Amino acid sequence: MFLKNCSLSFLLFALVPSTIAANHGLRAKRLNHHHCHHHAPSSNGSLGSTGHEATVVATTTQSAALPATHTHRTTIRATTSNSPPQPVTHSSTTSVGYPISSTFTQSQTTPTTVGTSRLTPNGIKAGIAGGDAYPFLKDHIGWWYDWSPRPSKPGMPIAVPMLWGVGTTDSTDAARLADFKKIKTAPPFVLAYEEPDCPPGFGSAGVSVSAGVSGWESLIVPLGNRGTLIGSPSMCKQADETWLADFRSKISTDWDFTAIHINKNNLAGVKKDIDHYWETYKKPIWVTEFACVNDHNGFVPCTDQEEIDTFIKEIVPFLEANEHVYAYAYSNGLGLGDVWPLMKGNSLSASGRTYLAAISKYH
C-alpha cells in the first residue's frame, strides 16, 4: 500500500531511560521452578492486517542513565487512520521490499522517508512458532521460526533466525550457537535468547545477564548494524520478569522490538502481559509464542477444545487490533498438551483449523 492523499501524523516513540531497565522442551516440568511463580511459559503484502501504519527505523544516541555508547534504535510510526484493522476476504500473498532505514538526530521530529512497516513481516502480523504446520498456513502468515539459526522452507513467509542461547545448555544449544556464527547475509529480522530468565532445560536457555550481554554485543549488534531488525530476548516469567531490564541497562545497542511469550487462557491475562512490556520498554511488540495455558497456580495447558477455540477467536482479533503488537505467533512447541498443537498426525488439528480460520479473516 502506498501512502497517497493521506494526512500523515508522525509519532516518535520515546524510549524510557533504562536504569530500570528452540529448544522447545517439556514446559510442564517448569512447575518445579518455584521462582517462576505462576508465569512459567511454554516451549509480503500491503500494510497487511493493520493497514494503518507505516514504520521506519532510525538510530539515535543518548546517554541518559545508560552506558555512554548506548544506541537507541527508535521507531517512527506514521498513522493513516485511527480505526482498528478490518478483516479482509482475500488470501493472496504479495512480496514487499524492505526500505532503507532513515537516520536522524535526536533534535529531528520526523524521518526523511516513510515506507511500509518493516516491523511487520510481509505486512502480515500472523505467524507460527514451529514449522510442522507451515504447509497448511503459509498462505496466511507473514513469518515463522523454529528456534533455530537458519530456518528454511519454500514460500513467501519470512523465516526468522534465532540465537537461542549461548551454547552452554546442551549439545543442541552448542550446535545452534556454532551455526548462528555462520550467518553471512544479514536477515530482515533476528530473535535473541529463548527464556534466559529460567534455569536451563525444559525449553529455556538459562542465560546469565553478563553472558547474554556478551553474546548480544558480538553476534546480534553486528547484524543490527547491517540493517537487521533485532528482537529482544523473550522472557520465561512473562509480566513477572526482571532479567530484561537489567540486561537492557548493560547493552550498547537497544533492540527494535520486544519479543514476548504469552501463556494465558483469558484475554485479561493477555492484556496484562502486553501492557507490562509496553509500559516498561516502550517498544513495538512481537508475541513470539502464545498458547492457551492456565498459569494461575502452575502451568496447565488447556485441554478443552471449546475453551481453546474461544481463546483463539478472542486473541487473534485482539492482537490484530492492538497498536503495540506488530507480529504474533501461535506456539507449536512441546509440553502444551494434546489438544493445543496445530497438527494431529499429518493434518491440521481442530485447534489448527480454528487458528487458520481466525487469521484468514485478515489475510
- What DSSP designation does 12 have? E
Q: Residue written as cell 530500570?
A: 20
Going by pLDDT thresholds of 50, 70 and 90, the confidence category of residue 16 is: very low
pLDDT the model gives residue 309: 98
Q: Are 191 and 288 in contact (CB under 8 A)?
A: yes
Summarize pLDDT for 215-242 with one digit per residue, the tens.
999 999 999 999 999 999 999 999 999 9
Residues 6+ apart with CB under 8 A from 316: 126, 328, 355, 358, 359, 362
Residues 6+ apart with CB under 8 A from 171: none
Summarize pLDDT for 294-312 with one digit per residue, the tens.
998 889 999 999 999 999 9
Summarize pLDDT for 330-361 with one digit per residue, the tens.
999 878 999 999 999 999 999 999 999 999 99
**114-118, 159-163, 175-179, 351-355: which has the minimum mean pLDDT?**
114-118
Structural domains present in the chain: 9-360 (3.20.20)
Buried-state track 179-208, b at ≥16 Cβ within 10 A, e below 16: ebeebeeebbbbbbbbbbbbbbbbbbbbbe
Residues 6+ apart with CB under 8 A from 47: 1, 53, 54, 116, 117, 120, 123
Statement: residue 273 has pLDDT above 50: yes
pTM for the model stands at: 0.74
- What DSSP designation does 35 have? G
Statement: residue 1 has pLDDT above 60: no
Mean pLDDT of 62-80: 44
pLDDT the model gives residue 238: 93
Mean pLDDT of 99-103: 27
| CA gap 174, 170 in Å, rounded | 6
CA contacts within 13 A on the Cβ side of 200:
15
Higher pLDDT, 286 or 117: 286
Statement: residue 30 has pLDDT above 70: no
Q: Which residues pair with 11 in a beta bridge?
A: 77
SS3 content of the chain, % helix, strand, coil (to 5): 25, 20, 55
| CA gap 334, 254 in Å, rounded | 31
The single-letter code of the amino acid at 216 is W
Statement: residue 96 has pLDDT above 80: no
Residue 224 φ then ψ, to 5°? -60, -40
